[in-house]
Structure 1
């Protein structure tokens, strides 16, 4: 245990650094001024139950109080933490203040008749959208900050699209634009969300498959929406979407299987080779166009398409079989 005199001198030094009198110090600790005096003169030790309160009032760590010495590492960490908090506050309030000032200027211009109200609404929606992207509202959420950021930023984009459509009196394009926004968010962020928040269960083991299904469903809805809102016939496009997503869904299922990574890679390679080979046949059938897929390895100039796709199929099959073989061999070790 450290000597009473050393502890007393340390308490007095820190009290004076905090610019507290013995009376003020005692009042914050709910003890008598005489008790504080005895601590500082080395007559008595503070009660062990007072340690945390003394540290709080003097802004020191318990280690510093017990050892009666400055903890340089602790103070450096505390200083860096305070600096980080200041930077966080600045990065929130500086752009926020700029957004508010911009809106105020536009509001004054509108009230003066320089700017129409429709433009003011677009500016307000744009500023709100920008705010939701940066600095965002995540500082108000202790948990689920990623979800909060994605949800609020997506709402900001959708709100901006709706306001622009209403202000310009042209709303037919809004559903398509909103679906495109949701599709973009799903493609980019859904795999990240599933990986971060699904620790076990079906979702955890089928993340890739679920992501591909969501992408396919939103793409089909997007194509169907465009077809409803425009006179363009996109049924063939819907069939093409299904064909393009089919290998992704199958590989999503394969990736979810409890197999060696090389085996899964080999199966996926073979699947993509097969789909690449039959892609031209599918396009010809769907769009009712003739497709020349004849194969003659002795004449590459005339039979380029067929020869190239056959080569791709053989290469994918060979690579896939090789990976499967390596995976099986590795699994037996």
Structure 2
């Protein structure tokens, strides 16, 4: 027993729990193989139970050892255990109900397809579709190591198989390569930062995860565009149009990410630079796209005239003005924050001198 628990507190606790269990002192003593007098001394606060009796006594009273030692109800612990049981029950219910629903859907599709068509055709579309759904809903609930990664792998493979089955059943076509490449690019877009942070990179590389991510995604985008150009039978478009247009679109993303990651100073100041970049990109992107496509570029806003000839230019101007306004607001916030920091530092130095 601990010094925090007095004999009297323990005695009151044992008495209350014994009565709640519907036991007399003699019945409790018989179960613990001690004398009735020993139980009486515990409850009157004259002595502590022997340390070897704690486990058996707590079991007979229906409490945990922690509760008995501290002579109090561990409501928080019981609530945690109750919540854990409720979560396990909820998870088991979801797991078995979804697994049963998917199995029933597959069995029904199998029987109906055979009964109506006397062969299996569209069932092979249903199978990977159901597997895809199960990978995203049921697989994460299984008690397996790294269930999330297995769920991701199962979903990607199921989606790829689904596309291949649809492609095979509808006479082929080059679109399948675009679809598969798009699936791979989408997975890289979402999970590359997560994979890099979970990979345990050396310290020098961990500081540049943003840059590594940008490089991987840029290369992946270039390869995706190459697949599209080959699939449509126009490989020359990859170098002539696709890569320049992709570079124009990726440039603001690269610059914004590098500013936020590597430019020193307060976050408000970096946000101001990104806002100015966004405003400038609004105009420069249109100019760059028109140059690549060989179209004439003209930007003549007139906020006093809103016609089909000026509305686009006017909207672009308003976007630029909003970006500049946000940049000014963030710049002022950065200056105010810097002054407050300097003032706090001066105050601290004066206090140390005094």
- TM range, smaller chain: 0.7 to 0.9
Distance between the aligned counterparts of 2:131 and 2:170, measured in 1?
A: 19
TM-score by length of 2: 0.69
Matched with 2:345 is: none
- Note the alpha carbon deviations across 1:132-186, whole angstroms, 9 max, x for none: 11123343245x5544443332333223223333344526323321222233344
Gaps of 5+ in 1: 23-32
* Correspondence for 1:166 among 161, 168, 171: 168
Matched with 2:143 is: 140
Instruction: Map 1:174-253; keep pairs closer than 5 Å.
Output: 174-190=176-192, 201=203, 205-206=207-208, 208-232=210-234, 234-235=237-238, 236-253=241-258
Distance between the aligned counterparts of 1:153 and 1:96, measured in 2?
A: 16
Matched with 1:104 is: 107
Q: Does 1:255 align with 2:260?
A: yes
Aligned length: 319
Matched with 1:152 is: 154
Distance between the aligned counterparts of 1:89 and 1:245, measured in 2?
A: 45
* Correspondence for 2:277 among 246, 250, 271: 271
Say whether the 8 Å CA contact 2:91–2:141 is kept in structure 1: no
Q: Does 1:280 align with 2:294?
A: no
**Local SS of the residue matching 2:223:** helix
TM-score by length of 1: 0.73
Say whether the 8 Å CA contact 1:296–1:303 is kept in structure 2: yes
Say whether the 8 Å CA contact 1:208–1:255 is kept in structure 2: no
- Note the alpha carbon deviations across 1:93-134, whole angstroms, 9 max, x for none: 001011112222333445557453232222221111110111
Q: Does 1:330 align with 2:326?
A: no
CA 1:66–1:308 in 2, change beyond 3 Å: closer, same or farther? closer
Say whether the 8 Å CA contact 1:12–1:40 is kept in structure 2: no
**Local SS of the residue matching 1:170:** coil
Say whether the 8 Å CA contact 1:251–1:268 is kept in structure 2: yes
Matched with 1:291 is: 297
Moved more, 52-61 or 144-153: 52-61
**Local SS of the residue matching 1:137:** helix
- Note the alpha carbon deviations across 1:234-287, whole angstroms, 9 max, x for none: 431321111101110111111112321122112212222333222233122211
Q: CA deviation at 1:226?
A: 0.9
Q: Does 1:126 align with 2:132?
A: no
Q: CA deviation at 1:294?
A: 6.4
CA 1:167–1:35 in 2, change beyond 3 Å: closer, same or farther? same
